[in-house]
Structure 1
Amino acid sequence: MSDWLAARGWNAFAFQRNVWRAMAQGHSGLLHATTGAGKTLAVWLGALQAFGKSEAPLMVLWVTPMRALSHDTLLALQDAAGALAPDWTLAARTGDTTSGERASQQRRWPTALVTTPESLSLMLSRADAPDVLKRVRLVVVDEWHELLGSKRGVQLQLALARLRRWSPALMTWGLSATLANLDEARDVLAPEAVLVRGAQDKKIAIDTLLPPRIERFAWGGHMGLTMLPAVVELIESAASSLVFTNTRSQSERWFQALLDARPDWAGLIALHHGSIDAELRRWVEAAMKAGQLKAVVCTASLDLGVDFLPVDQVLQIGSAKGVARLLQRAGRSGHAPGRRSKVTMVPTHSLEIVEASALRAAVQAGRIEPRRPPEAPLDVLVQHLVTVALGGGFRPDELLPEVRTAPSYRRLSDEAWQWALAFVRHGGDSLRAYPDFQRVVPDDEGVWRVPDQRLARRHRSNIGTIVSDAVMSVQFMAGGRIATVEEGFIARLKPGDVFLLGGRALELVRTEGLTAYVRVAKPGRALLPRWNGGQFPISDTLADAMLERLDEAAHGRYPDREMRFVAPLLKLQGEWSALPTPHRLLAEVQTSSDGHHLFLYPFAGRVVHLGLAWLLAWRIGRDTPATFTVAVNDYGMELLSATELDWAARLPGLLAAVDRATLREEVLASINASELARRRFRQIARISGLIFQSHPGEARSQRQLQASASLYFDVFRQHDPGNRLLRQAEEELLSAELDVDSLARTLDRLAALPLDLQRPARTSPLAFPLMVEMLRERVTTESLAQRLTRMLAELEAAAGGGPAPQDVGERLAFGQERDKASPRSRERRRRR
């Protein structure tokens, strides 16, 4: 191995030698090092050194979180294997592997196999799984941070528990670059694993592309295309660039804008996101590696793993919204030991410049968001029981201790275990009469197996925990389709609720399947939040860093070029109102022709702010008749009411912290919890095998899945109210979707802060983007452009500053981030 390294002019890093020593001693471990530091080579050379003289089939499993990465990973492993273990064979086995390739592998298994959690579970369901997989001596989990906090990670925990039963000396190594809770991540990965910290001194240059002038009244929701000339110049200056955006529609718009600005780049720039055909994505990746492309505009589809050594720089359009995401994307450039990674943040509005400064400060301080594993999801356990029953069968008293070695199930109760067994045996109390739910039954020797080959084929076709969100059509009762929105938005509403969409106030009449029927709301009806479309929420870590930056500004300190650039906005905020800080809660009260406004700035992210706004409205409504319109962003929230409220007297009590049980009850009472739980239940029903995404040779539509899941939901609620999957749906709703834990922490924090209630004479710079959010769906784009132009002119005149921007209408037109239609369909709609 030393000769191989020397022939390439490489010297092993200390952390790599630490990994080799640990692997030579048979230890499992978690290797945490910066992106491009040499993690893959560290573990792979350790495997070749430990097992390279053996030629047994299937000794190493390399698990990647994305099947799109399997080909790239395979190429990365083959070079060293060809020189150091020439008798080894390597292959990939994912959802993209053809049936012919699978058959060939099964005739002669490769020495090392690159796979995914889903394909590994599928291998566990083979009747010969114990004979095939007991030879595995090493499992490597790449990008462990991507799996740790999800059900896919729990699925992998259970698979590893099964492999360790067959091979007690199994080594497990995880690779990660962006984790905060390292000890927890290590303990979840493998028992008694070592933690190896790699080189953390990789240079990451983080810069911000500042606009020509500061906008003191910033507003979000546009694409940032005012920065297009500067971005073109940056791309021109480098040999190769990755341009990251946060949404697919934004990537489409930027790709087209770059081509419009530089037609000569046709064929030199490309687009990459999850909706593009896999074959085209692979072509883009290969062309980027070969240095044939000058730039690729992309989304999270290129966040992970793919080794683009030629990339000189990364551009992030808009805020990355999280430290880990920024680091992951920055690492796509300079992706090799000793090379510098470079990322330039391109803000789409002025407040994102504060985010940019806070992101760099958090990176320099080593503050990264933690990932927490789910606690004992029964839908994943139920799926695993059927998988194990197919893979040789199980005895319950022997399997339970094995399951409890998976950290997410350490505290699995005997009652929950017995329920899971009953569920796979006959579907529980309400489904025992139906043969399709008798999926696993004990034979004469007490071994639980799948008795029906039809059920076996159906289960194998649906192994996995990835469930996509459905899109609902919104249309009038009398006909006429208005738009499509995420099902999660409609699920929050009750019949009779009013929401804003497409410039209209609409009243929800009913939902049927994946269609929401509405009518135009009568004037004066209560309004709920407008639909924002899918957006990343700001992370707690970044929000805290922003508050620290604002606290410095409140004391007259502007430590970097970003904060000095945005100083006019922050100084004006301080003059007209005050700046939020970690030590006080800023609230602003204002009256306008629209009504009475409360602006509140908890800096807890849009998900928590939405929950907090609903909770405040519900708490007020218990004793005071009032209607509210709500707007939220990552920094704060607005409550607009037709009647004036004494916020100074009421707000401290309304923000009072309560115990977790009471808060859960209040949150569930403030929303349409039943419909949200129904939506969540469909995902659980799919994972647990109640409903099936597909049968062999047949795919089922989202509408069919929704109807089937709703039927089971209603049956369980009526005839089996203690069903644990119903309880899990509610728990996941509260934890994953409504983020009640973060809401509780936010209330605890706010209750301990003094209230700084300001009554500014004019809309403050921080309130302005919330007011834009409020207005956006209440008037047409043209009318909103006119109103914003007038408001900006008045505010700038009052501030004694520069002219209002002249591109308001253009930016609003660009700002249709929620429009997820394809460019072709948008063009057809424009022509109509």
Structure 2
Amino acid sequence: MIDPALPAEIEDWFAGRGWRARRHQLGMLAAARAGKHALLVADTGAGKTLAGFLPTLADFAPSLLHGAAAPEGLHTLYVSPLKALAHDVQRNLLTPIEDIGLPIRVETRSGDTPSDRKARQRARPPHVLLTTPESLSLLLSYPESTELFATLKRVVIDEVHAFATGKRGDLLALSLARLQALAPAMQRAALSATVADPEAFRGWLAPWGDVDSVALVEGEPGAPPEVELLLPQEERVPWGGHAAAWAVPQIYDLIRANRTTLVFTNTRFLAEYIFQLLWDVNDDKLPIGIHHGSLSKEARRKVEGAMARGELRALVCTASLDLGVDWGDIDLVVQMGAPKGSSRLLQRIGRANHRLDMPSRALLVPGNRFEFLEAMAAKDAVDEGRRDGEDFRPGALDVLAQHVMACACAGPFEEKALLAEVRSSLAYSWLDEAGWTRVLEFVATGGYSLRAYDRFRRIVRDKAGVWRLAHPEQAARHRLNAGIIVDAEMLEVRFRNGRSLGKVEENFGASLRPGDTFRFAGLDLEVEGVRDLELVVKAAKSAGQIPSYMGARMPLTTHLADRVQAMLADRAGWARFPDDVREWLEVQDWRSRLPQPGELLVESFPHREKHYSVLYTFEGWNANQSLGMLITRRMADAGLSPMGFVANDYSLGVWGLRRIEDPARLLSPEILTHEFVEWVQDSYLLRRAFREVAVIGGLVERQHPGKRKSGRQVTFSTDLIYDVLRKHEPDHLLIEAAWADARTRMTDLARLADVLERAQRRLVHVELDRVTPLAVPVMVMIGRETLPAGAADDELLAEAEGLAAAAMRPSDA
């Protein structure tokens, strides 16, 4: 048995604060002393970050050094998905270091870090460096990385669930493999409060998939959270809309009644929108802030500092703050709209109190009736301690290409040695020599169809079989363009004096003209002009539109979808629903039927001289949107004269001039073969996916020294290359990578296939004379789906009342 006892200095520090080291904190120390990697799964507020760093603090404790000098060089890397989390951890980690008097220097490194500090960190690194996956990959691209990481003892990966299953996780897995090669004794530690499948994460964390080398450390259970749903005080639960704007007066009263409230929204647009509504009712002039990823670094740091000092009564934010930020004085967390997953909700709830022995208080605010059911399902899952999450999938080829280029920038490499290193990560253990050769050839020449162009020649192989950069300038170009997150191109929003407020998407900025007004960062702004990639503004006296963003939608998880369907089938359970929600379901059951678990319900009815069909899939927006595209194509081929479709997470509505008599014919499985391929190839989806993988893979550069391309320039370049490759080299590495993205992330092909499987097994078609209650939430979206969520709430509600009246009134017969 490894002794997990704390060094005397650290033991005294705990005692001085009236604390005790918790079982899982000692477990992480014991795992490190046993030479094992470790995965810690513990509730929010359990001291996970301190547990991850305890072995590092112990290595610098004088009582264990016995008079020897403290370790030199970089000792520990801390990797987090968010810059804000790294800065928060730095503040909290410095407390024990300074209190105990440990000789440890701690610094952060991200895209916001000044270049002179980055250079100094490579030459004279701190003992502990807090960074992100992208910044770590860039650090590994420098020739001095071999010496820099030779002293590395430990890597701590925080909130591992947030990015391990995606492309950022692929990049980190490759970086971990490289670090392990540079420092073979390095230990890996991963931390999370919301891992649904610990065994899968142990496999991802382990070198060579050796799960036994990873200790699973489970935290002590904390106080169960207190989760409630907010309902309208006098009115009914809305039929449509997602902003939950109806609740703003009640939320403001809660802000007044609590010391600090954190208000989460699912998008940047909704953050700005809800922030504006709160200020409109803020008669007491309470200090309320806003935080999201498009605000400037200065604005974000200012708000984070104000929260840490307890100066704000409320903060409206997005996912930019839902991971691990430790603000212990938050009394209440409010989730605006549906949470989309129980793990995400648990993570956000944990921002309140952030202490293991005190319950976190959270309030869910549904935007409509389906969201009420989803919020109830999420609450039940949290009460039961059930988590959900995404599955692991094979590592992405475009990320691997970027990593190969980073390795070449660090120095020449031998391809077999690097292949062995890459395959030591579970994400790329599937890679064979033929696939590896394709990746190397792509990085070297751009592929068969592009090899004649010198600008795509990045690495070359010498006679000894060693690969190196084709030209030294390639290293600077790689570091300028590397990254995994490919957002829509942005315009910097600046006052004339140069002060930056943040960024809006280029498409939104291009729609503005001098004199137009918009609201951003909580300010009313008037456009003075656009220069280069900057939107120059001045203060305005009136409010205008709010910028919308094309960020990925958070899909409803399969776990919550299954729970919602089970609720619909459990009539006895309806007793806990509000009267209007219960009536909604009862009238639906009387007029038509309710979708049962394992079946696909399709309702067809006339409305305003058109024929409508609504499919209740419960498979999320991406799958429903894809199915809508495919069904309307089939409707056209069948002569049904389709006129459009609209989708939400729960259902798909299609309409046309002729009635759908046999929906099963439109949903046969072969739709996912030739028709799916033709649709994706002819749509914008594959081009958009290709643009992203081309940027990540390094084929197309967003920036040159001193100049950044506009989004239109990048899109033009990628479209030209895409057309060439699709015609002359359809099996190109990046076409394959784009298809992988289109199938998983953009169309959610697996969930789409589930819909078609149910359609063959248990499709129930109900033909009616009018719209049904369950169809109203999707029907009110018709004509509004191109508007940002929340922008048309008043119109939606008015439209909903008219539809609802038709759906809920007794039969005319």
1:591 to 606, 620, 624: 606
Deviation, structure 1 residue 697: 2.2
Aligned partner of 1:825 in structure 2 is none
Deviation, structure 1 residue 100: 2.5
Cα distance in structure 1, aligned partners of 2:481 and 2:603: 52
Cα distance in structure 1, aligned partners of 2:35 and 2:392: 26
Aligned partner of 1:810 in structure 2 is none
Deviation, structure 1 residue 383: 1.3
Aligned partner of 1:227 in structure 2 is 247
Aligned partner of 1:198 in structure 2 is 219
The answer as to whether partners of 2:625 and 2:652 remain within 8 angstroms in 1 is yes
**Paired residue secondary structure (1:288):** helix
Cα distance in structure 2, aligned partners of 1:777 and 1:726: 30
The answer as to whether partners of 1:589 and 1:758 remain within 8 angstroms in 2 is yes
1:578 to 565, 576, 593: 593
User: Does residue 357 in structure 1 map to residue 373 in structure 2?
Assistant: no
Deviation, structure 1 residue 457: 0.8
2:731 to 699, 722, 733: 722
2:192 to 152, 165, 176: 176
Cα distance in structure 2, aligned partners of 1:102 and 1:42: 28
User: Does residue 551 in structure 1 map to residue 574 in structure 2?
Assistant: no
Aligned partner of 1:243 in structure 2 is 263
Deviation, structure 1 residue 141: 0.8
1:566 to 574, 578, 581: 581
User: Does residue 748 in structure 1 map to residue 757 in structure 2?
Assistant: yes
Aligned partner of 1:630 in structure 2 is 645
Please give the per-residue CA displacement for 1:350-409, whole angstroms capped at 9, x wherever unaligned: 332211211111223333222233413221111111211121221012111111111111
The answer as to whether partners of 2:555 and 2:621 remain within 8 angstroms in 1 is yes
Alignment of 1:808-819 (within 5 A): none
User: Does residue 72 in structure 1 map to residue 91 in structure 2?
Assistant: no
The answer as to whether partners of 2:632 and 2:644 remain within 8 angstroms in 1 is no
Deviation, structure 1 residue 693: 1.6
Aligned partner of 1:387 in structure 2 is 406
**Paired residue secondary structure (1:722):** coil
User: Does residue 606 in structure 1 map to residue 618 in structure 2?
Assistant: no
Q: 1:470 to 1:109 in 2, by over 3 A?
A: closer
Q: 1:99 to 1:674 in 2, by over 3 A?
A: same
User: Does residue 279 in structure 1 map to residue 298 in structure 2?
Assistant: yes
Cα distance in structure 1, aligned partners of 2:796 and 2:120: 62
Aligned partner of 1:421 in structure 2 is 440
Deviation, structure 1 residue 594: 3.0
Cα distance in structure 2, aligned partners of 1:348 and 1:778: 18
Deviation, structure 1 residue 487: 9.0
Deviation, structure 1 residue 436: 2.7
Q: For residue 247 of structure 1, what is the amino acid of its counterpart? A: T
Cα distance in structure 2, aligned partners of 1:366 and 1:215: 30
2:42 to 14, 17, 33: 33
**Paired residue secondary structure (1:195):** strand
Aligned partner of 1:521 in structure 2 is none
**Paired residue secondary structure (1:334):** coil
The answer as to whether partners of 1:62 and 1:142 remain within 8 angstroms in 2 is yes
Cα distance in structure 2, aligned partners of 1:77 and 1:449: 40
The answer as to whether partners of 1:614 and 1:671 remain within 8 angstroms in 2 is no
Deviation, structure 1 residue 84: 4.6
Cα distance in structure 2, aligned partners of 1:46 and 1:94: 24
Please give the per-residue CA displacement for 1:497-516, whole angstroms capped at 9, x wherever unaligned: xxxxxxxxxxxxxxxxxxxx
Please give the per-residue CA displacement for 1:22-80, whole angstroms capped at 9, x wherever unaligned: 11111101111112211011111122224544422101111111223222111121122
1:109 to 125, 136, 140: 125
Question: Mind listing any 5+ residue stretches in structure 2 that lack a counterpart?
Answer: 1-9, 208-212, 492-503, 509-548
Q: 1:230 to 1:376 in 2, by over 3 A?
A: closer
Aligned partner of 2:51 in structure 1 is 42
Alignment of 1:497-536 (within 5 A): 535-536=553-554
Alignment of 1:90-489 (within 5 A): 90-191=106-207, 192-213=213-234, 215=236, 218-221=238-241, 223-266=243-286, 268-443=287-462, 445-469=464-488
Cα distance in structure 2, aligned partners of 1:56 and 1:174: 24
Aligned partner of 2:77 in structure 1 is 61
Q: For residue 741 of structure 2, what is the amino acid of its counterpart? A: E
The answer as to whether partners of 2:601 and 2:615 remain within 8 angstroms in 1 is yes
Cα distance in structure 2, aligned partners of 1:450 and 1:85: 45
The answer as to whether partners of 2:614 and 2:652 remain within 8 angstroms in 1 is yes
Deviation, structure 1 residue 330: 0.7
User: Does residue 6 in structure 1 map to residue 25 in structure 2?
Assistant: no
Q: For residue 243 of structure 1, what is the amino acid of its counterpart? A: V
Deviation, structure 1 residue 18: 1.4
Q: For residue 676 of structure 2, what is the amino acid of its counterpart? A: V
**Paired residue secondary structure (2:602):** strand
Deviation, structure 1 residue 644: 2.2
Q: 1:775 to 1:15 in 2, by over 3 A?
A: same
Cα distance in structure 1, aligned partners of 2:758 and 2:201: 27
**Paired residue secondary structure (1:757):** strand
Q: Answer with 730-739 or 79-88: which moved more.
A: 79-88
The answer as to whether partners of 1:598 and 1:639 remain within 8 angstroms in 2 is yes
* TM-score, normalisation: structure 1: 0.83
The answer as to whether partners of 1:630 and 1:637 remain within 8 angstroms in 2 is yes
Aligned partner of 1:540 in structure 2 is 558
Q: For residue 652 of structure 1, what is the amino acid of its counterpart? A: A
Deviation, structure 1 residue 312: 0.4
Q: 1:609 to 1:682 in 2, by over 3 A?
A: same
Q: For residue 558 of structure 2, what is the amino acid of its counterpart? A: D
The answer as to whether partners of 2:780 and 2:799 remain within 8 angstroms in 1 is no
Question: RMSD over aligned Cα, in angstroms?
Answer: 2.8
Q: 1:664 to 1:2 in 2, by over 3 A?
A: farther
Q: For residue 199 of structure 1, what is the amino acid of its counterpart? A: E
Q: 1:400 to 1:107 in 2, by over 3 A?
A: closer
Deviation, structure 1 residue 99: 2.1
Deviation, structure 1 residue 738: 0.6
Deviation, structure 1 residue 162: 0.8
User: Percent identity of the aligned residues?
Assistant: 37
Cα distance in structure 2, aligned partners of 1:366 and 1:637: 31
Cα distance in structure 1, aligned partners of 2:125 and 2:24: 32
Q: 1:797 to 1:380 in 2, by over 3 A?
A: closer
The answer as to whether partners of 1:246 and 1:536 remain within 8 angstroms in 2 is yes
Aligned partner of 1:767 in structure 2 is 775
Paired residues, what number?
A: 736
* TM-score, normalisation: structure 2: 0.85
Aligned partner of 1:495 in structure 2 is none
Aligned partner of 2:494 in structure 1 is none
**Paired residue secondary structure (2:773):** coil
Deviation, structure 1 residue 297: 1.1
Q: Answer with 71-80 or 715-724: which moved more.
A: 715-724
Cα distance in structure 2, aligned partners of 1:799 and 1:37: 57
Cα distance in structure 2, aligned partners of 1:142 and 1:733: 29
Aligned partner of 1:24 in structure 2 is 33
Aligned partner of 1:682 in structure 2 is 691
The answer as to whether partners of 2:423 and 2:430 remain within 8 angstroms in 1 is yes
**Paired residue secondary structure (2:77):** strand
Q: For residue 204 of structure 1, what is the amino acid of its counterpart? A: P
Deviation, structure 1 residue 593: 2.6
Q: Answer with 615-624 or 166-175: which moved more.
A: 615-624
Deviation, structure 1 residue 201: 3.6
Deviation, structure 1 residue 16: 1.6
Cα distance in structure 2, aligned partners of 1:3 and 1:786: 64
**Paired residue secondary structure (1:448):** strand
Deviation, structure 1 residue 221: 2.5
